[in-house]
Amino acid sequence: MAAGMTGAGKGHLAMLTFSALVAGSFSLGGMVANEVAPAALNAVRFLIAGGVIGIAAMATGGIPASTWRAPWRYLVLGGLFAIYFVLMFEGLKTAHPVSTAAVFTLTPLMSAGFGWVLLRQITTKWMFLALGMGAIGALWVIFRADWAAFRRFEVGQGEIYYFWGCVAHAAYTPMVRKLNRGERPFVFTFGMLLAGLLILTLWGWQDLRATDWANLRPLVWGTIVYLAVFASAATFVLLQFAALELPSSKVMAYTYLVPTWVICWEIGLGHGAPTGLVLVGIALTAVALVMLLRDEG
């Protein structure tokens, strides 16, 4: 992190980087989603990410035997994340990366709901207003700024797949706090990744065997490595660091920056920018970001 910055400043820098790296998974994932079955791709991703996090766990105190008490906890969390990532890539087969990133911004609102159900966490009025603003912006993008499509509730199949994945992701966040029994973050995440790898391997065994791994394009392998190292392992470290420096509302706020970063990725990859009307929805998610950053909770 940059020298001379305050702890909060470093936390914000970490989350800026986090949101940019997460955004890359939408743009790059959209380019390869139709080349490898989602379960097979994410099984390899979990394998690589698990190796990276496992090494980090061993280097920062080891993995105590007590980690494996009640292993069903890791199956629950690994299952939720496996559902999220598989449905994300199912969605990216047909949905535009900007549109799927907009669906992702619905996650904080759903997570607030799960937080109340599971942990009785209370959302402030200001935060609820910001979440609502972000949701309106997300819906505007999802329906491609088409009011007639919104009234008919015409949603693409890809966005529907990914929405249900985001429901699983929203449940994951409060479930981590509910199921953690004092394990260190690296250790707990390693257990989750191992469980997720087991689930994905069993779920996608036929796809894993059917994939011609040796003849995949370099772009596919590059995307898998990016997803595992940068969009999984690195973002985990950044998120953990930021969570120690910033209030939870400010950490959550950066979810709303992801669609903007996706637009930057799309332009950088030569895919062009969305229409002006769609940018109105992106602007609303940016407003939600600013509102949450101002929240004092």
Query: Is 1 part of any domain?
Result: no
| Beta strand residue intervals within 136-192, DSSP E | none
pTM for the whole structure: 0.82
The DSSP symbol for 234 reads I
Task: Give the chain's residues under pLDDT 50.
Answer: none
Torsion of CA 183, 177, 92, 223, to 10 degrees: -20
| Nearest CA-CA partner of 263 in 27, 12, 43, 56 | 27
- Give residue 163's domain range: 10-293
Residues 6+ apart with CB under 8 A from 246: 8, 11, 12, 15
> Does 89 map to a domain?
yes
Closest C-alpha among 107, 44, 168, 127 to residue 294: 127
* Cα 170–chain centre separation: 10
Inside any domain, residue 267 = yes
Query: What is the distance between the alpha carbons of residues 30 and 51, in angstroms, rounded to a whole number?
Result: 25
List the one residue out of 279, 288, 237, 234 whose CA is nearest residue 106: 288
Q: Is residue 5 part of a domain?
A: no
Please check whether residue 4 lies inside any domain of the structure.
Answer: no
Residues 88-116 have pLDDT tens digits of 999 999 988 878 887 887 777 777 777 76
Quote the radius of gyration of the chain (alpha carbons, Å): 19
Separation between Cα atoms, residue 292 and residue 176, nearest integer Å: 22
Half-sphere exposure at residue 61, Cβ-oriented, CA atoms within 13 angstroms: 9
Residue 65, domain member (yes or no): yes
Domain count within the chain: 1
The verdict on residue 287 lying in a domain is yes
